[in-house]
Amino acid sequence: MKKIAIILCALLLSAASFAQTYNLDFTQTRRLKVSGKTTVMKGHLDYDGKEKLSMIYSDPEGDYFIIDGNMVKMSLMGKSGELDATKVPMVALQRSTLLNCLSGNWKQAAEDNNATTSVTEKTGFRTVKITAAGVIPRGGYKSVTLTYRIKDGRVSRLILEEPAGIENTYEMR
């Protein structure tokens, strides 16, 4: 009986580490590779470990990016909208990639983006590089680089590179 309890406890702990939750500040640096133009934005990220994510920007104030189940709502850099990921495959891919990367399910993010992966570890951090292996699915990423803290599996840095040459780097604090 004791052995079953230990196994059950281990399974629950491994499941809990897979579903990370976040409540932290971030800095986003958006770089256009062609022009070299860089924009720095700051905000707060809340993620429930499943289907709800909110990124509320303090700079520029009033901007936001929200995932609530299948709905994606945004007001970023003068553009706003509300999209249903079940009706827009491109949004569905971006939504699932972001949620999978934050939860630690980077293997699924790689599969969804038709990508290969490489993993390196150095001084307490694990870096996962997801690189498109061929045709990039519409809405997919050319590459995703994730840096996880080994001690707790939390993302400390996320870099999303779009095929159009836009790179967004998120530093979590």
Q: What is the pLDDT along the chain (173 residues), one digit of tens a residue?
A: 444 433 333 333 333 344 588 999 999 999 999 999 999 999 999 999 899 999 999 999 999 999 999 999 999 988 999 999 999 999 999 999 999 999 999 999 999 888 999 999 999 999 999 999 988 888 889 999 999 999 988 999 999 999 999 999 999 98
Q: How many domains does the chain have?
A: 1
Nearest one of 20, 39, 37 to 28, comparing CA atoms: 39
Q: Is residue 103 part of a domain?
A: yes
**Spatial contact of 104 and 20, defined as CB atoms under 8 Å apart:** yes
Q: Is residue 77 part of a domain?
A: yes
Residue 136 is part of a domain; what is its CATH number? 2.50.20.10
Whole-model pTM? 0.85
Q: Is residue 13 part of a domain?
A: no
